Copies of this chain bind each other. A is one copy, B any other.
């Protein structure tokens, strides 16, 4: 991080941000279910894959599964998996890997006790206090990326915060990739819908890093979200995106969308057994394509509101599902992805407590990637500017919590207690004065004014302050340096590919 941007961050929040650094887990994860129950879920998933199997719509994926030893019914799209075959391919998947960024100082470790926080990816809308919820433009998308780049607690951009609806749908992904590759120097997520869109991402990343497409095979830069069509289906675009990414050494994050009561059984163990089956099927496909390819186990099991059928998020069931998903991922020995989610429509107390339920589930579930870690609102339909800032505060707090205090003679402070004695005060003591500036977490959003001061200063609530911080960060944004030749090559690539997409359809 340059000194210039460090200053900008400090000025934007009124406080120094924590430096760019991944939290490392030092407390054991919470085991919600016993080892016996975990094995029962795993065994049920194995039975699902053996007896029922997956509906695989891609010819190429079915051929790969057959070559890998799966039982592919002739003239059918059904693929079934024997237990030995599964075990052998699952054993190929690595427990962790390195994820590169344009700034080598922002290289990430995935798995092996590390966690990384990614900004929200995939909503349809954007919202802020000024304009309410609306369809977003490319300019707004770029602004969002600039703030994501500026927040040190976000280790990865999450794949486009919302759709840029002023752009042609056929080539919109190219404009996003260009923005990601040039406005950010931290890691970013691509889109995995089909082979062409995936290859475009790999090409853009390669150009931005001065590499060739082939060079990318041993240089992982992508964690690509691959959603199965629960229950038990893998569609063509997702299968082809997965295959393309695995072929090029990039990571697939297999994430079944198993909403209990809709796309999976209404009972949590059943929903998780189905999630586990679908995740294993995806992980195995990546290993067949490229043994040892980086993969992640994505857990996204939640429940529907049984009154309306709408998905609910940040519920107690969601939290348990995140923690059990972590247990299941560790059983397979692969890194685990979870999320920070809420169904709230406003950046109010509900948004915060549902987000906290999911964040605590993810962190104590041992998640290695927390997607949508900042900015998700409205069940994932909307990216919120204020929620991005408030989530960043929560993430900073969680990161600080992940660092246990060091217990040493200096921190046990027996001499300070002796010096102060009963009924004294520690404010002005040498022990305090030597440490007070860095002793505690300094908030970005939280207002700790006493009530009268808070009134005098205008009764600012958390979303209003977050709106102000958003604007300060945006106005202080500085584009990370980029070789003009690389920028030119990226522009040429995007222009050429746009001609291909538009030409195909003219």
Q: A412 to nearest B CB, angstroms?
A: 5
Contacts of A351 in B (CB 8 A): 349, 352
A378 engages B451 (CB within 8 Å): yes
A201 to B267, CA, bound (A): 48
Contacts of A263 in B (CB 8 A): 425-426
The yes or no answer to A476 lying at the interface (CB within 8 A) is: no
Select from chain B the residue with minimum beta-carbon distance to A433: B266
Contacts of A53 in B (CB 8 A): 422
Q: Which of B28, B264, B317 contacts A426 (CB 8 A)?
A: B264
B345 engages A33 (CB within 8 Å): no
Q: Which of B27, B52, B264, B441 contacts A422 (CB 8 A)?
A: B52
The yes or no answer to A85 lying at the interface (CB within 8 A) is: no
Interface size on A, residues (CB 8 A): 120
Which of A60-68, A174-182, A217-225, A456-464 forms contacts with chain B? A456-464
A343 to B445, CA, bound (A): 12
Q: Which of B32, B412, B420, B424 contacts A273 (CB 8 A)?
A: B412
Interface-centre pick from A78, A264, A448 (highest chain B CB count, 10 A): A448
B232 engages A422 (CB within 8 Å): yes
A421 engages B231 (CB within 8 Å): yes
Q: A277 to nearest B CB, angstroms?
A: 8
Contact A448 B231, CB 8 Å, known A265-B413, A401-B319, A439-B260: no
A454 to B356, CA, bound (A): 22
A317 engages B461 (CB within 8 Å): no
Copy total for this chain? 2
Q: A422 to nearest B CB, angstroms?
A: 4
Contacts of A393 in B (CB 8 A): 353
Contacts of A315 in B (CB 8 A): 397, 440-441, 443
Q: A442 to nearest B CB, angstroms?
A: 9
A262 to B425, CA, bound (A): 6
The yes or no answer to A418 lying at the interface (CB within 8 A) is: yes
Which of A159-167, A304-312, A366-374 forms contacts with chain B? A304-312
Contact A270 B462, CB 8 Å, known A32-B404, A308-B448, A401-B320: no
The yes or no answer to A407 lying at the interface (CB within 8 A) is: yes
The yes or no answer to A233 lying at the interface (CB within 8 A) is: yes
Select from chain B the residue with minimum beta-carbon distance to A56: B422
In the assembled complex, 14 residue pairs joining A and B whose CB atoms fall closer than 8 Å, in A order, are A30-B30, A41-B412, A231-B421, A232-B417, A261-B436, A266-B439, A267-B439, A303-B439, A306-B440, A310-B449, A316-B401, A353-B390, A353-B397, A378-B451
Q: A265-B432, A269-B406, A360-B360 are in contact. List 17 more A-B contacts (CB 8 A).
A: A30-B364, A40-B407, A44-B412, A233-B422, A260-B439, A262-B425, A265-B417, A270-B411, A270-B414, A315-B440, A317-B440, A345-B459, A346-B462, A349-B390, A352-B356, A353-B393, A353-B397
